[in-house]
Amino acid sequence: MKQTVSDRMDNGLAASDVVAGRLREEIISGIIVSGTSLVETDIAAQYGASRNTVREAMRQLRSENLVIYIRHRGNIVKTLTPADVYDIYRVRRVLELSAIEQSAFAGDDLLAAIHNVIRSAEQAQAERQWRDVGTWSLRFHQAVVALLGSERLDAFFSGIVAQLRLVFALADDERAFQNPWVERDRRIHEILMCGQRDRAADAMKLYLEDSEAGVLDLVRAARIRHK
């Protein structure tokens, strides 16, 4: 049975935060993709929320660069540009490399969470569920940033991850795009668990460099197709 916003208010979040969070998670999971029209009446009915609540959620998602408002069309899930990608990877380098550098102070539960995410990614890979592989790859990076132990950074980074997911749907061949990253995720985790933080940071720097190049290729190819 569908949960309404009122069903989820016991966690202290505002109703608009709940709606925005659910929509953000659907973007991260690849359910909502770039160009999707977010119709306020439909979302209000889906989550049992008021129109005012949905409007506030839309404002929040616009502030996170996930949604844009177009006159006569309404709220549309954003299509990223190369400039967006450059900025996303600036943020990723700062947060993910800082997390690796400070990982010695992280709790065992946070380190175990990375391992669990990788196992889920490998399971999805074995089942050839490539969209799920992409989702678990993003969860890996969220788990890395979580090593910093900051709820505020975790919340901020979830918006960054959601923006990145919007690019994944542009890949013509999801398998070719997603498959190589799982082994690299595991390797970084193994190095990190050996306490070799400098090596893990170097591996992550190369990972992010290669990832940025691949994402930029997807964005540029999509722009050419749509001209």
CB atoms within 10 A of CB 27: 27
Query: Binning pLDDT at 50, 70 and 90, where does residue 201 land?
Result: very high
Q: Which residues pair with 37 in a beta bridge?
A: 76
Is the predicted pLDDT of residue 4 greater than 60, yes or no? yes
Domain ranges of the chain: 5-77, 82-225
Model confidence at 206: pLDDT above 60: yes
Residues 6+ apart with CB under 8 A from 146: 99, 110, 113, 154
Q: What is the pLDDT of residue 12?
A: 56
pLDDT value at residue 7: 45
Q: Output the CATH code of domain 82-225.
A: 1.20.120.530
Dig out the tokens for 29 from the structure: 């999971």
Q: Report d(CA 207, CA 212) in Å as an integer.
A: 9
Residue-wise pLDDT for 57-90, tens only, equals 999 999 999 999 999 899 999 999 999 999 999 9
Q: How far apart are the C-alpha atoms of 216 and 68, rounded to whole Å? A: 21
CATH of domain 5-77: 1.10.10.10
Q: What is the rounded distance in angstroms from the CA atom of residue 159 to the CA atom of residue 25?
A: 9
State residue 91's pLDDT score.
97
| DSSP 8-state secondary structure symbol assigned to residue 134 | H
Q: Which amino acid is at 51?
A: R
User: pLDDT class for 2, splitting at 50, 70, 90?
Assistant: low
What pLDDT digit, counting tens, does each position of 116-174 carry? 999 999 999 999 999 999 999 999 999 999 999 999 999 999 999 999 999 988 888 88
Amino acid 1: pLDDT? 40
Q: Is residue 24 within 8 Å of residue 62, measured between CB atoms?
A: no
**pTM for this prediction:** 0.87
pLDDT computed for residue 174 by the predictor: 86
Query: Which of 176 and 95 is assigned the larger pLDDT?
Result: 95
Query: Mean per-residue pLDDT for 21-44?
Result: 94
Q: Is the pLDDT of residue 176 over 50?
A: yes
- pLDDT, residue 8, reads 52
Contact partners, residue 138, CB within 8 Å, separation at least 6: 28, 161, 164, 165
